[in-house]
Structures are given as structure tokens and as C-alpha cells.
Amino acid sequence: MKSTFEKMGGTYTLGADGIYYPNLVSTDEEPHYGKYGMMRKTYLKEYRPAMYSLYMLEDRLTEHLNLVDDEAQERMVILVRQMMERQGIAEELKARDQMAWVRAVNGIRNMAEEIVLNELIYR
């Protein structure tokens, strides 16, 4: 009769002492997530503890956080670029009036981040 561990695809290795030991190998990838991954982790811990526990039990938390962070970074770049094009914020404005350009770009980044947080982090 197979154990639950074996039914889930686990294997055992016979040790020198005659006891079978489970082959436990972490499939967790290296964490490379940044700001958005950490925000997602905090959100899951505080507001979605069941989902957080599931990711932990399935050894998929780091993979999930890496994916969310990468997706959020890509989305930020795309949104900022599109918003700058629509509002006509270009390098000529930067050359003419740096402070106006900084104000405009900071406003755009804040709007883009609000969208990313609502769409990817707090869902």
C-alpha cells in the first residue's frame, strides 16, 4: 500500500541504518522579487492568509512573488510610456522646463502605480 507521500509523487531512499527517508527537494526558485513582490507578500499574509498558507504548503510562494513582481514592473513601464505619449510629455519639455517635466512624470508614475497595485497586488 502506497503512502500519501508516494501517491503525490514522492519517493524514498533507503538509509544506511535501514530506514527509508523521504526525498525532500525544494522546488522553490531563488527569490528576486522587489518592491511589488514584498507588497504582495504582505497583502497575502494580512488579508488572504488561506491563500498565503496554500502557497507556502505547495512551496510556490517565491515563484508567485517573483512572477507578480516581474509582471508589475513590466506593466509599470508600459503604462508610464503610454501615459507620457498621450499627455505629450517629451524630451523637449525636459529641456525647456525640467521642473514641469519632473512634476508631470511623477504624476504619471503615481497614476500608473495605483493601477498596478489595484490590478496585480491587491487582488
What does the pLDDT look like over 66-86, one tens digit per residue? 999 999 999 999 999 999 999
Q: Which residues of the chain are modeled with pLDDT < 50?
A: none
Q: Return the pLDDT at 95.
A: 94
pLDDT tens, residue by residue, 111-122: 999 999 999 999
Owner of C-alpha cell 492568509: 49
Q: What is the CA angle 61-3-60, rounded to 5?
A: 5
Burial of 112 (0-12, 13-18, 19+ CB in 10 A): buried
Q: Return the pLDDT at 93.
A: 93
Q: Return the pLDDT at 25.
A: 65
Query: Model-level pTM?
Result: 0.74
Residue 22 has φ and ψ, to the nearest 5°, of -70, 145
Domain ranges across the chain? 4-121
